[in-house]
Structure 1
Amino acid sequence: MKIDRILGIIIYLLNHDRVSAKTLAEKYHVSVRTIQRDMVNIASSGIPIYSDSGKNGGYSILPTYKLKNTNIKSDEQQMIIKALESLSTSYTNHTLDSIIEKYNSIIGKEGGQRIFWDFGVTKENQQVQNVNKILEPAIAEKKYISFHYRNAGGKESDLTVEPLAIHYKWYAWYLFAYNDEKKQYYTYKVARMRDVEMLNRKSIIDHGDIESHMKESEQNYYKTCINIEVHFKERESSLIQEYFPDCQIEKVKDGMCRIFIGVPAKERLWKALLLSFGDHVKVVAPEEYKKELIDIAEKFLSNYDS
């Protein structure tokens, strides 16, 4: 519908600095001419639309403009508040609690709750939550931090870095930071950080778009991943697909199937997950990874009288 498209365009423009008519046309599956007419309608409704011509031109909305809450549908408001409440089950933050309190006071309660989320099982221990409470103001005030760190391989070091962002992925919290000494960006697992202290030293470095640095760092990390070939009986396909939904299952022969899993070489989580399948799966390659799993299984059994 036209009204839904126009509202979608407004929200999209509010979240982006400058967007070309071609980009909007492709996103909403209409012609450039239709987008141009939509812009006229949006501007006539009182929303401050700006148009820049040229190679890098496009449409934008005055940065100080704010979309009123009444423009968000009731079911969308309910979805927002449930997402916030669910996030609070895995992340301790007083600001988040305050947002939920304020948002609950302005949205309608009609219709009843239809979607329930609970991320409580992903909530990390109090030590991680306490570290996050130090990292947040340090990031906001552009202050350096010092901490003791033990990586996945067991190597320990004392570090001083500029914290830039914390993010949640792979069921854990991570710190994205800049190391002055090495002139590089690094990602640290918060659970492995100890003795974290915010320093009086303040950063004067302009890092630009932090998100782009994070994406670049993540891509470089993925280049270090290895591909593991795993074989299993065809009847186990549904279980394998549940745990590895993005991996393509291939039929091999004699009722057997296989998948290829790209995993970080040093992370223990993947080794534990594969071992948890017992005799339902067989790691075929690479040979080094297979031998490592066998070694881990033998050491585990050595603790028992078997």
Structure 2
Amino acid sequence: MDIGVGLPTTVPGARGRDLTEFARRADQQGFSTLAVLDRLVYDSYDPLVALAASAAATERIRLASTILLAAYRPSVAVLAKQLASIDRISDGRLVVGLAAGGREDDFLASGVRYGGRGRRLDEMISELTRTWQGEGPFAGVGPRPAAEGPPLLFGGHSPSAMRRAAEHGIGWIAGGSSATAYPELVRQAQEEFRRHGRADKPKMVSLSYVCLGPEGRERGGAYLRDYYSYIGPKAERAASAVIVDEDRLRRTVDEFAEAGCDELLLFPCTSDPDQVDLISKAVLA
């Protein structure tokens, strides 16, 4: 199983210099992917800007949006151009993770209707891929991606999310599901691929939150309570699940590998670049 790491773009107060150093170390330490989260109404960096900066600071590591909430973005042509630009800057290292989104405030802030976001995402997928192939509704939108277009990964626990993965993607990503529940998600994704006549198996991805080092539980818990405050009391469940010691982190990695996960993304709850070294020592050394 591959091990990737998240870029702490959603940790409030993260400095730009810390993000680029974080990316540089992740590239050097041997992580498979550098991933970003997406949220508009929050004290966070834009994920596409962060990926562009990371592309310039790295040479080897994959860059991935996990997940980009594409449906709240008003212009498909602009989004296609942004993603193709990152893909070209990184020499084809981009993986585009997409989902419909579940926070109404992000849509209100961008002036896009929250209702019907799933249908909008389906339409956007078609236009994105056609634009990258030079066949979009607006001629001349470039640059072209490094290849035919970056591979697509889909998130969301609805049947539509699994369908999108089978119709358009390389796989599916779970947002913080436990390893205990993961085998059933693997089964569902594989069944959906077979239903759509695909002989290949979906790439299965998941993420976990990590905050190693002194005061890890306090720092990680405070961040996750704030980040997930929109889900009410369930935010405490997310905060209590943060991984704060090396032994538990290694057990979590082993559990996901046994559950059929192909890549686990470890998202830090601090913007301190030393967190990269601590995670690497625990699971890559």
Q: How would you bin the TM-score normalised by the shorter chain?
A: under 0.3
Tell me which of the two structures has the higher relative contact order, counting C-alpha pairs closer than 8 angstroms and 6 or more residues apart.
2
Q: Look at both structures and tell me which one has the larger radius of gyration over its CA atoms.
A: 1
Higher strand share: 1
What is the TM-score normalised by the length of structure 1? 0.22
